[in-house]
Structure 1
């Protein structure tokens, strides 16, 4: 299992406090750049708590937008907070329960990094979108675009040298432009482009930064959950000492995601 034993995704509310609150503005910017042309049937693969699903519903007003996720708890959270035309189901991104060409657009937010076979997932997305339809996704840039996580893992490695092997900057090979482009072209998609999305992240104070790490959702909080109280407190103190804090006590960063977009080739003779 290795470091993936810490990749826990089972509590929608805890995820919202940890990363979800930052993913919503990224979803809005992602869709604002997506020249998709609308359509009545949309699919969100790896929907999590439904941020991107809800944004698709608002922007494109489809007849239905289906959000799929392998976490029953996330699906339950999304159902509770996202109105129609959004609907949700538990499903595997590697075996989508959708017929060939059954969707007008397929999107995915912040999921590819955590899939065991991202190439197979992109191939599935390409299968279920209509000819000429878009397949688009975005992922956090764990290699350098999430500075608050870099500060966390640097502090963790100072306190616990074994934590260096868990640093998220080393774990996710697809969170770069070239690998993303390769996944899309490898699935037979055309007109592929990759762009950066940056949004500001401001923590009201150190507690606002630290407390989500105690909720056990995701690699870093999952790691914290394994620590004994003494080591956990040492990690907290080291992070507090090293994280940049503004005069008013707030902590501000700019975070980055990479967005990739392509289209399924149109049928021959369809123009």
Structure 2
């Protein structure tokens, strides 16, 4: 059984980190929270959202992640922690945010309850996840090609993560007791310099699709590569223009 791999910061950056930073900036602009305060970035990864929070005026941002490799790749205050059992006291933070991580938590409801627990009354709890089923085109096109070559792989994130849609996210936030829940899409362009710029990050093994790809024998990897090369929308100058969409949600902790 192939498992998702999240440990090497540089490989993750080439695959999806460069795009997640842009989403993080859009997310922070949407939250528009007052400056200062103590924030938790739950599932901080290599630190894209933590950096965006700092740039937006957060007083202190603590990153928490179960991956020691990702923690080493970032900077600032960081703790090893599972979103389902955060190593923080009650009402320790003015805001909790989570970027592109919640769908990987085995029990999202427990994680959402923890986000609420560690946030002060009146504070904000917010998150965003990729729209794997439709809007995250670099992954969607990969899985469509992979499924043709290997119909029974069962690893497509669009099918694996039903949470990554507006209604399930809304239900999760409301069930956690959060008030004023709002969901919105965040879409950014993802422009690749050429086919190698698109394809080679999949060979880094970081994330669901790259881990699956690198589990295959070379001839099957090459077959998926060739399907993609023939299908991606390539401009005359060789660039490939796709888009990436995430679903963002926010809510307020009540007394």
Task: Please give the range of the TM-score, normalised by the shorter of the 2 chains.
Answer: over 0.9
Which residue of structure 2 aligns with residue 141 of structure 1?
A: 131
Which residue of structure 2 aligns with residue 83 of structure 1?
A: none
Which residue of structure 2 aligns with residue 50 of structure 1?
A: 47
- How many Å apart are 1:47 and its aligned residue? 0.1
Task: Give the 5 Å matches for 1:115-134.
Answer: 115-134=105-124
Task: Give the 5 Å matches for 1:193-204.
Answer: 193-204=182-193
Structure 1 distance, partners of 2:30, 2:144, is 34
- How many Å apart are 1:168 and its aligned residue? 1.8
Q: 2:12 aligns with which of 2, 10, 15?
A: 15
- How many Å apart are 1:106 and its aligned residue? 0.6
Structure 1 stretch 9-18 or stretch 146-155: which is displaced more? 146-155
Structure 2 distance, partners of 1:11, 1:32, is 28
Which residue of structure 2 aligns with residue 102 of structure 1?
A: 92
C-alpha spacing 1:41/1:107, structure 2 compared with 1 (3 Å): same
2:57 matches 1:67 = no
- How many Å apart are 1:144 and its aligned residue? 0.4
Which residue of structure 2 aligns with residue 82 of structure 1?
A: none
Query: 2:120 aligns to what SS in structure 1?
Result: coil
Query: 1:156 aligns to what SS in structure 2?
Result: helix
2:210 matches 1:221 = yes
Query: 1:9 aligns to what SS in structure 2?
Result: coil
Q: Where does the alignment leave 5 or more consecutive residues of structure 2 unmatched?
A: none
- Equivalent pair of 2:23/2:187 in contact (CA under 8 Å): yes
Which residue of structure 2 aligns with residue 191 of structure 1?
A: 180
Query: 1:60 aligns to what SS in structure 2?
Result: coil
Structure 2 distance, partners of 1:31, 1:96, is 22
Structure 2 distance, partners of 1:180, 1:60, is 27
Structure 2 distance, partners of 1:17, 1:6, is 20
Structure 1 distance, partners of 2:222, 2:239, is 21
2:157 matches 1:161 = no
- How many Å apart are 1:235 and its aligned residue? 1.3
Taking structure 1 as the reference length, the TM-score comes to: 0.91
- How many Å apart are 1:220 and its aligned residue? 0.6
- How many Å apart are 1:160 and its aligned residue? 2.2
Q: Runs ≥4 in structure 1, deviation > 3 angstroms? A: none
- Equivalent pair of 2:38/2:93 in contact (CA under 8 Å): yes
2:78 matches 1:88 = yes
- How many Å apart are 1:162 and its aligned residue? 2.3
Structure 2 distance, partners of 1:157, 1:105, is 40
- Equivalent pair of 2:39/2:58 in contact (CA under 8 Å): no
Structure 2 distance, partners of 1:144, 1:61, is 32
- How many Å apart are 1:152 and its aligned residue? 0.8
Q: Where does the alignment leave 5 or more consecutive residues of structure 1 unmatched?
A: 80-85
